[in-house]
């Protein structure tokens, strides 16, 4: 099983994000994003994300599932 941090790094790589510690800004994979609008945060037990253009959590979670990214606590929901 890979660590949450490795999942975080994989997600950033997939979304061409740039990370500063446990925060990253990336291209949202759920809409046609020309200006990075996806915020990603790594917490102790989960990866959080927020699209500033309004993509839903369920769309983003589906992207993660389809790409085998485990995002921690959220997956239990």
Task: Map residue 30 onto helix, strand or coil.
Answer: coil
Contact map string, positions 18 to 47, toward Zn ion, x by CB under 5 A: ----------x-xx----------------
Nearest alpha-carbon partner for 29 in 43, 17, 46: 17
64 binds Zn ion (CB under 5 A): no
Which residues lie across from 25 on neighbouring strands?
18, 39
How many whole angstroms from its chain centre is CA 48?
7
Which residue number, 4 or 26, has a Cβ lying nearer to Zn ion?
26
Smallest separation, CB 21 to Zn ion (Å): 23
Q: Which residues bind Zn ion (CB under 5 A)?
A: 28, 30-31, 51, 53, 55
């Amino acid at each position: 099983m890979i660590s949450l941090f490795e999942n975080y790094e994989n997600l950033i790589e997939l979304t061409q994000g740039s990370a500063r510690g446990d925060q990253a800004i990336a291209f949202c994979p759920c809409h046609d994003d020309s200006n990075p609008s996806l915020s990603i945060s790594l917490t102790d037990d989960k990866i959080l994300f927020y699209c500033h253009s309004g993509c839903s959590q369920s769309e983003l979670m589906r992207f993660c599932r389809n790409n085998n990214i485990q995002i921690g606590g959220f997956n239990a929901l």
